[in-house]
Structure 1
Amino acid sequence: METHNLTYILEFHLLGLSEDPNLQPILFGLFLSMYLVTVFGNLLIILAISSDSHLHTPMYFFLSNLSIVDICFTSTTVPKMTVDIVTQSRVIAYVGCLAQMSLFLLFASMDDMLLTMMAYDRFVAICHPLHYAAIMNPRFCILLLLLSVFVSLLDSQLHDLVALQFTCFKDVEIANFFCHPSQVFNLSCYDTLLKTMVTYFVGAIFGFIPMSLIFFSYYKIVSSILKIPSSGGRYKAFSTCSSHVLVVCLFYGTSIGVYLGSSVSYSPSKGMVASLMYTMVTPMLNPFIYSLRNRDISSTLRKLRSW
């Protein structure tokens, strides 16, 4: 593979989903529809939570912020992809690629942190119900949100600083429909220890550690629920967690596989399908999962519709 000096590289080329011209109108309509459903669905969740005072609780505070982040997260990749389909051009400027990578990491990390905080919120609510109001007070919730923003910014800037150290690339073609961080790193000529350390360190910090915290939270939650004597009480407790568990499985199952897998061996077709799952499908499904499986959200949405 030919090596290119960075001084002559002003742009990268995205592989895209398909070269077949007959599929382009179908792909454009499909992804534009999915994007609009994602935006409007999450906006409805935000509107429902903000309009109903009964939903002004820590759980829905984190959920509304998750909806905001999901809109921003999917907006970093889908609009560019739909424009590329229309213009039949998959070129992205070097500076634009770094900007997209930075925003992608920022919102992906915030998504990650918010899902962990939501698991902690459910843990406190079910395992320590008498102390819930004291622990999950508004000041603490805002502090957790600010912490997630700070840590996510740190992650984003760390990747950018490492990427800016690259002075040459093996190729200019990125095997995805957006500038995926690990694939941009793999294009570097240098097989540096720093590059490997950042990839696996961030994978641990934003992948396995949050997942471990979530699993620990749900281990304690399940243990507490099984001690509830009535079946109705157990069902109610499980129902408050089921939506979150489903979203966590969708998000982590695909994102970690793509991030760490592409640093070792990468299959473009499988990688792009997995990327579509966590950049488009999961943010689109979140409003449906939370509205259909949450009575409070469903009733508020029905009230809004009746207006």
Structure 2
Amino acid sequence: MPAAARQSPVFRFAPSPNGPLHLGHALSAFLNRDMAAATNGHLLLRIEDIDLMRCTPEFERAILDDLSWLGIAYERPVRRQSEHFDTYADALERLRAMDLVYPAFMTRGEVKAHVAAYEAKTGETWPRDPDGSPLYPPLDRQRSASACAALMAAGTRHAWRLDMDRAAPLAGNGLAWSETGDGETGRLAAEPRRWGDVVLSRSDAPSSYHLSVTIDDALQGVTHVVRGLDLFHATSVHRLLQALLGLPEPVYHHHRLILGPDGRKLSKSLDDTGLAILRENGASAADIRRLVGL
């Protein structure tokens, strides 16, 4: 059903096919299904496969098998991000035309060395984003247009980053989102500056998570984004992109995480919590609901 034709709430479950689903994915899938059913809404499935190196058809088939076993029904067609790179490129071009993005040439190693040198020289800690990664240094943002053009003409690999100093003020002081999840709730202030100049596209991935999910949610008419608390702070970036591109604002619900034995969120490498392994060991879909606390 086209997004414009939907009048009731729209939810989406959006896994990446870069490994097997685990209990954390099951919690998210169940919550999306349950909330859609409770509101007489729609549930969509989106395959977030912009990482062409790690995402595989085999993992996608496994995701579909797991969802079928769990009894998670969703509307067709399934949206695959790898089929919509042109759409993300168009959005990036709009931001480029607004002079809000710039080519960034520093490698991860160069960023690490720059940060280490700064901290050794000053004794101060380089600013980090909410995930703990160092903010991107301002060197490329300060590079002249002619210097950038020369590097690009020479074939230097680069990403496209959002110029946060230019972009954030355009959204105004009231940028916020409505949150109904397991942490803070209510109308929450967005703080995109905490992320620095986020990547929107890179040479080995035609789009970034931030850009593609923002565009997809708008195009699919998603009204309620239900996902893990690990993505809570990323909502600030998504709200900024929505404001810059004139896209609608969904309601957000960030749910609790299922933690592993080490107290950290589950990884796709933890076989003991993989849905396929649990199924092979005799677990039922009802068992999985109990295991995730539903």
TM-score by length of 1: 0.26
Q: Where is the helix percentage greater, Structure 1 or Structure 2?
A: 1
Q: Where is the strand percentage greater, Structure 1 or Structure 2?
A: 2
